[in-house]
């Protein structure tokens, strides 16, 4: 840039848009502005009556500050909502929170030091409510600080009386259709939380467990198994042996009786080598072979209790591990329960709610089950029925809340019968667009294979199961009148009334048992699974908020929600309405560090979004979200965030350059028609509209990483490195009113007005800041009220694109030649150079169509000559056959104003240090 007495005559950029973003300070000011103008309501008013797009918010738990997973999820939703609203859709967004359940109870107990068993249930629920509402408020502020637009003044909460009332009706409708039942079945049980758990509340992790081989003495071999033999089982849960009532064989497997160590054993033939190696059988002899079905109903003796263990047949038996003879305890396993039911085996589950053995477990009474493993093993060893005990590391289910290992425990629970509507659910899955497409297979397989849904919980903070029991005959009471009464009461008073009111008040007036006529009833004490809460939201929210509609156009959550919210929502919706509650389901992966390890506080690799917002700003996080291909696991680290910050800086500086060069441009009066633009300007518009087309499709396809890379490349390469670089002389040095300068400003104006909208869904704050420098008094008050830029086919001149692309290839080669000339000291700055290009007829014809090639190459002089005229100094460009380049020092003197070396410098009265162009400009100022 020129220095000296002519600085004031240059059209140097002028803008209040700062180079340094200072986002942590600037973003709260913009957020206050959005709140002041109520930007959410203004967007709703603008798009009222237009086609709707309903993204139903999956409710996070209100139990702590937001983490980076929340950030990824909420920003993805916000990007979609903002893009849809700018493309002409009515996009109401009602955020929600999951406010019941174990996570809230656990935190309330921990934070307030409450003993829930000694605290009045209403008082305890009050503490839980206060805790949940506290974090609803905290998280709401944090989500808004991320720049997420929504109806934050009217969120949906699962603890709201209106929500609870609808949930009761969902339950009642499922019960009316026969999908709700109570039964004794083994369920996932967390002894630490003292409640049943659903499949969605289980996570698997490594666990070291005992691995034991146990002998079951044969009592009656049914003529197939010798009665002096032992059936060998293998288990990693010795604590379940007190509940054993059977041994399962596969009906079609081959089994053998063999002799080893002077004893006879029964195992599956297919596992002989494995078992022999495990038990160190150096010498053994096969005595007999038989099919599993031949030994059906043979009888063994329990290893240490005075009862039988029946040999039964089950298709669940495999040859993957063990002995092919499976220890069967119907009270502690789903497969065991199913086969036990078929054979009438006793269901024994001698374990209480806290995971301790009951009196039914004999000498093990009072022991915690996992601690009792060693005692069970000791008992087996004492009775000489233990063949081997070792340790094994394997995948084991854990409670996803307290992170303790769970147990399988048969208890009376309430279930939703998936079997009752499974086929309808599978059909509904195929009516939905799954993004990515593999989501369809995942949820389809889960629904196809899942057992019935355990919906009861033995806790206090939640929606009660609205069922009564007749005190006289024990009948279960639930019908349309009781559901209507409870739903009405909950809508008026909230679900606390269930715990404070007696059964006579909760039931319809004058209600009597239809079986025995009694008017004495007691209430169910269990509450509903929180997945039933959130799974009912499609009706409790989409059908109750005036601006929303059912079904939702989209659900968007992490991929773990295939077994969680997507699944529970599908189940309640299909059961009640016969179809899916969503048209599209988009899932994103989990957060991992640069090494692919899962992010966690305990590992020290978790990044706190609140700290990042404070130090770098929310827009950096939003840009990171857009840069990630969320369809698989998403990498994040300090280094990745720094890379995003650098990308942000380049995008911001691109916008700043444009703003700085539009300070004296009036688009109403000074816009230059497209036909009057030069080829480079037309090329810039071509690249812009190619960008609009590409990012519009990418937004529609939810491929935001494509948007990020396309915009970043456009700003840094097409604009900053090429167009702006070539444009600077025209912008800075021409007369302010020069038609060529106004042409450039015309293009810049179109560039920034398209870019600010393209960036708005991602860089929410920065785009608003940019727009504040563009906005006219009569224009919309926020960038969020602008319309999506239209793609203009007439700007897509492929011939110009091809020509400029080829010229830019020459520019790149010339730049290399200039570097080489600078290295050998032939020139200094590139403006000190003259470039002579010798070219074949094809290249020569092309290059002659481009005006001001010296501006394209950023040199002072360019001369084009036929290839036949080339000199010895001309260097052949191998990458561009048909072109030779000669770089030499430019002839003439350096213009003090534009730095171009020209023979015309010094030939003008009064401006002896200026070139002809600059002297004429200065004279007109």
Residue 200 has a pLDDT of 64
Across 48-62, 820-834, 895-909, the highest mean pLDDT is recorded for 48-62
Report the percentage of the chain scoring pLDDT > 90. 64
Across 314-328, 576-590, 871-885, the highest mean pLDDT is recorded for 576-590
Nearest Cα to Cα of residue 575 among 423, 778, 406, 790: 423
The length of the chain is 925
Helix (H) or strand (E) holding 592: strand 591-592
pLDDT digits (tens, 9 = 90+) for 288-297: 889 888 888 8
Residue 3 has a pLDDT of 46
Helix (H) or strand (E) holding 838: strand 833-839
- For residues 287 and 246, the answer to whether their CB atoms sit within 8 Å is no
Residue 602 has a pLDDT of 62
pLDDT digits (tens, 9 = 90+) for 613-669: 999 999 999 999 999 999 888 989 889 999 999 999 999 999 999 999 999 999 999
pLDDT digits (tens, 9 = 90+) for 556-575: 999 989 988 999 999 999 99
Residue 125, pLDDT above cutoff 50: yes
Angle between helix 68-86 and helix 618-627 axes, rounded to 10 deg: 80
When pLDDT is averaged across residues 442-467 and rounded to a whole number, the result is 90
When pLDDT is averaged across residues 117-122 and rounded to a whole number, the result is 81
Residue 908, pLDDT above cutoff 80: no
Q: What is d(CA 450, CA 698) in angstroms, rounded to the nearest whole number?
A: 36
- For residues 678 and 856, the answer to whether their CB atoms sit within 8 Å is no
Q: What is d(CA 363, CA 380) in angstroms, rounded to the nearest whole number?
A: 13
pLDDT digits (tens, 9 = 90+) for 783-825: 999 999 999 999 999 999 999 999 999 999 999 999 999 998 8
Q: What is d(CA 253, CA 271) in angstroms, rounded to the nearest whole number?
A: 11
Q: What is d(CA 833, CA 854) in angstroms, rounded to the nearest whole number?
A: 10
What's the first-to-final CA gap in the chain, in angstroms? 19
Structure tokens at 206: 């490594």
Residue, of 92 and 563, whose pLDDT is higher:
92
**Geometric angle at alpha carbon 215, from 322 and 372, rounded to 5°:** 85
Residue 580, pLDDT above cutoff 60: yes
The CB-side HSE value for 195 (13 A sphere, CA atoms) comes to 30
Residue 550, pLDDT above cutoff 90: yes
Residue 560 has a pLDDT of 87
Looking at every residue in the chain, the average pLDDT score rounds to 91
Query: What is the per-residue DSSP string for 359-409?
Result: GGGGGGTT-BTTTTHHHHHHHHHHTT-EEEEEEEEEEEEEETTT--B-EEE
Helix (H) or strand (E) holding 698: helix 679-700
Query: What is the per-residue DSSP string for 76-92?
Result: HHHHHHHHHHHTT-B--
Residue 439, pLDDT above cutoff 60: yes
Residue 4, pLDDT above cutoff 70: no
- For residues 913 and 895, the answer to whether their CB atoms sit within 8 Å is yes
pLDDT digits (tens, 9 = 90+) for 47-68: 999 999 999 999 999 988 999 9
pLDDT band at 1 (very low <50, low <70, confident <90, very high): very low
Across 222-236, 364-378, 422-436, the highest mean pLDDT is recorded for 422-436
Nearest Cα to Cα of residue 764 among 659, 905, 625, 573: 625
Residue, of 508 and 194, whose pLDDT is higher:
508
pLDDT digits (tens, 9 = 90+) for 508-519: 999 999 888 899
pLDDT band at 2 (very low <50, low <70, confident <90, very high): very low
């Amino acid at each position: 840039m020129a220095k000296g007495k002519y600085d004031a005559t240059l059209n140097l950029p002028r803008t209040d848009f700062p180079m340094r973003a200072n986002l942590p300070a600037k973003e709260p000011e913009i957020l206050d502005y959005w709140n002041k103008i109520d930007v959410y309501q203004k967007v709703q008013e603008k798009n009222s009556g237009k086609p709707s797009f309903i993204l139903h918010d999956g409710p996070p738990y209100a139990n702590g500050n937001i983490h980076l997973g929340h950030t990824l999820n909420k920003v993805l939703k916000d990007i979609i909502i903002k893009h849809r609203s700018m493309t002409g859709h009515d996009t109401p967004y009602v955020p929600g929170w999951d406010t019941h359940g174990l996570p809230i109870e656990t935190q309330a107990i921990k934070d307030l030091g409450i003993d829930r068993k000694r605290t009045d249930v209403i008082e305890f629920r009050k503490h839980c409510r206060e805790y949940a509402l506290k974090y609803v408020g905290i998280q709401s502020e944090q989500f808004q600080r991320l720049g997420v637009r929504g109806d934050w003044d009217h969120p949906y909460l699962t603890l709201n009386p209106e929500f609870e009332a609808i949930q009761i009706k969902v339950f009642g409708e499922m019960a009316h259709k026969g999908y709700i039942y109570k039964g004794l079945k083994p369920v996932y049980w967390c002894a630490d939380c003292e409640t049943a758990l659903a499949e969605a509340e289980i996570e698997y992790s490594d666990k070291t467990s005992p691995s034991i081989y146990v002998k079951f003495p044969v009592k009656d071999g049914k003529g197939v198994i010798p009665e002096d033999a032992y059936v060998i089982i293998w288990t990693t849960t010795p604590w379940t042996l007190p509940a054993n009532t059977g041994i399962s064989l596969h009906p079609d497997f081959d089994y053998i009786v063999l002799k080893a160590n002077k004893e006879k054993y029964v195992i599956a033939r297919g596992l002989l080598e494995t078992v022999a190696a495990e038990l160190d059988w150096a010498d053994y002899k096969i005595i007999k072979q038989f099919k599993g079905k031949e030994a059906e109903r043979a009888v063994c003796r329990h290893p240490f209790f005075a009862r039988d263990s029946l040999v039964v047949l089950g298709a669940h038996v495999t040859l993957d591990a063990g002995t092919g003879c499976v220890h069967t305890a119907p009270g502690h396993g789903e497969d065991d329960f199913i086969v036990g039911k078929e054979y009438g085996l006793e269901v024994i589950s001698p374990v209480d709610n806290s995971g301790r053995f009951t009196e039914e477990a004999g000498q093990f009474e009072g022991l915690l089950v996992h601690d009792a493993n060693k005692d069970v093993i000791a008992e087996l060893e004492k009775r000489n029925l233990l063949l081997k005990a070792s340790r094994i590391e394997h995948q084991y289910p854990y409670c996803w809340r307290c992170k303790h290992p769970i147990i399988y425990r048969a208890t009376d629970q309430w279930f939703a019968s998936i079997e009752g509507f499974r086929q309808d659910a599978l059909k509904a899955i195929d009516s939905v667009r799954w993004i990515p497409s593999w989501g369809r297979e995942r949820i389809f397989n889960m629904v196809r294979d899942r057992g019935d849904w355990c919906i009861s919980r033995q806790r206090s903070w939640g929606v009660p199961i609205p069922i009564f029991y007749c005190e006289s005959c024990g009948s279960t009471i639930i019908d349309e009148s009781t559901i209507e009464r409870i739903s009405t009461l909950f809508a008026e008073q909230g679900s606390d009334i269930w715990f404070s009111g007696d059964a006579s008040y909760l039931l319809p007036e004058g209600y009597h048992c239809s079986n025995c006529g009694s008017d004495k009833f007691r209430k169910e004490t269990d509450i509903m699974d929180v997945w039933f809460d959130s799974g009912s939201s499609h009706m409790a929210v989409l059908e109750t908020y005036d601006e929303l509609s059912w079904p939702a156009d989209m659900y968007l959550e992490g991929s773990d929600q295939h077994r969680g919210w997507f699944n529970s929502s599908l189940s309640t919706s299909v059961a009640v309405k016969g179809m899916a509650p969503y048209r599209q389901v988009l899932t994103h992966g989990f957060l991992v560090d640069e090494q692919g390890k899962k992010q966690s506080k305990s590992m020290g690799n978790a990044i706190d979004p609140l700290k990042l917002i404070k130090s770098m700003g929310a827009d950096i996080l939003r840009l990171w979200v857009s840069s990630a291909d969320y369809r698989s696991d998403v990498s994040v680290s300090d280094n990745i965030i720094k890379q995003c910050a650098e990308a942000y800086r380049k995008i911001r500086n691109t916008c700043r350059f444009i703003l700085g060069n539009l300070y004296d441009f009036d688009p109403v009066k000074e816009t230059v028609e497209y036909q009057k633009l030069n080829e480079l300007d037309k090329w810039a518009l071509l690249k812009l509209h190619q960008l609009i087309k590409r990012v519009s499709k990418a937004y529609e396809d939810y491929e935001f990483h494509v948007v990020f890379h396309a915009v970043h490349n456009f700003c840094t390469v097409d604009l900053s490195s090429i167009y702006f670089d070539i444009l600077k002389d025209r912008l800075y040095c021409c007369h302010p009113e020069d038609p060529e300068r106004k042409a450039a400003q015309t293009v810049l104006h179109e560039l920034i007005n398209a870019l600010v909208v393209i960036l708005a869904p991602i860089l929410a704050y920065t785009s608003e800041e940019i727009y504040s420098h563009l906005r006219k008094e009569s224009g919309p008050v926020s960038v969020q009220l602008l319309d999506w830029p239209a793609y203009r086919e007439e700007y897509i001149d492929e011939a110009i694109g091809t020509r400029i692309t080829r010229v830019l290839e020459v520019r790149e080669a010339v730049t290399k030649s200039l570097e080489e000339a600078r290295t050998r000291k032939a020139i200094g700055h590139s403006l000190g150079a003259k470039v002579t290009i010798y070219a074949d007829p094809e290249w020569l014809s092309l290059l002659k169509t481009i005006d001001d090639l010296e501006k394209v190459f950023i040199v002072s002089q360019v001369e084009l000559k036929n290839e036949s005229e080339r000199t010895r100094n001309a260097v052949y460009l191998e990458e561009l056959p048909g072109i030779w380049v000669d770089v030499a020092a430019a002839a003439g003197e350096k213009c003090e104003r534009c730095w171009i070396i020209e023979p015309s410098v010094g030939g003008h009265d009064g401006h002896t240090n200026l070139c002809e162009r600059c002297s004429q400009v200065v004279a007109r100022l």
